[in-house]
Amino acid sequence: MNKTIRASVLIFRKDIKSELRTRYVINSLLMFVLVTISIIRFALGDEKTENEILTGLLWISIFFTTSNGLSRTFVKEEEKETSVALKLSSDSIPVFTGKLFFNLVLTFALNFLILILFILITDYTIKNLTGFLITIVLGNFGLVSASTIIAAIISKANSKGTLYPVLSFPVLLPLLITVINATKLASLGIDTEKLSGELMILVSYTIVITVASFMLFRFVWED
């Protein structure tokens, strides 16, 4: 196996094992998801709500859950003072790749849960399931790519909590506008072919952010 892939897999496996033992991220995020979904349920009451509004609420839940959890992957290494041992043992590329895949797994698992709960407690209807799922998957890829590099940058700062939303909002804004629009259109039953413009933007955004992240990470990690 190529040594970069082998090292990335090792770091990914280590992060999964650490998370399962400490529940550093999972427990707080599960609570966050439950509280957010409950608040949405109480706020909506029995009123019939339009899909446009529900789509916005769905992405608010996804965005805040993700931003709450993904920032912790690098912050934990800094807070526990383990990042130096990692730097002494690995090149920067496997570290970023391992963390990126860990965040992807975490995000997909949590967002699957959010989606199920959201559909169960609201009258959210999805008329074009294929287009909807493609949008959610691409949106998650973009969200994770951008959030992982921002998490690496803020882990070096003193005011980590406040810096994350300040940095992530402008970077994620193009993604959020596009993904919310595409999700709304898919849920209303617009054909997947007609969503191709939005989907292309999501694919392009993810590729650009991921490539830029790999180029930037070395400087963030080695500083």
Partner 1 sequence: MNIIEIVCDNISKSYSGKSIFKNLNLKISSRESLTITGRNGTGKSTLIKVLSNLVKNSKGRITVRENGKDLNAETWFLRTGLLTPYYNLYDELTGSENLRFFYELKLQENKKEEFINERVNFFLHEVSLYDKRNELVKNYSSGMKQRLKLAFAVINEPEILFMDEPRTNLDKYGIEIMNRFAGAQKEKGILIIATNDEDDKQLCDRTLNIEDYR
Task: Give the binding site for partner 1 (CB under 8 A).
Answer: 1, 3, 6-7, 10-11, 14, 17-18, 21-22, 80-91, 94, 222-223
CB-nearer residue toward partner 1: 80 or 127:
80
- Taking the complex as a whole, the smallest distance from the CB of residue 4 to partner 1 amounts, in Å, to 11
CB-nearer residue toward partner 1: 5 or 43:
5
Task: Give the CA dihedral 84, 89, 94, 98, nearest 10 degrees.
Answer: -60
Contact indicator for 71, 103 with CB cutoff of 8 Å: no
Neighbour-count burial of 170, counting CB atoms closer than 10 A to its CB (0-12 exposed, 13-18 middle, 19+ buried): exposed
d(CA 175, CA 187): 18
- Taking the complex as a whole, the smallest distance from the CB of residue 128 to partner 1 amounts, in Å, to 43
* Cβ atoms within 10 Å, residue 118: 21
CB-nearer residue toward partner 1: 78 or 174:
78
Residue 145, both tokens: 């790519």
CB-nearer residue toward partner 1: 49 or 90:
90
- The amino acid at residue 54 is L
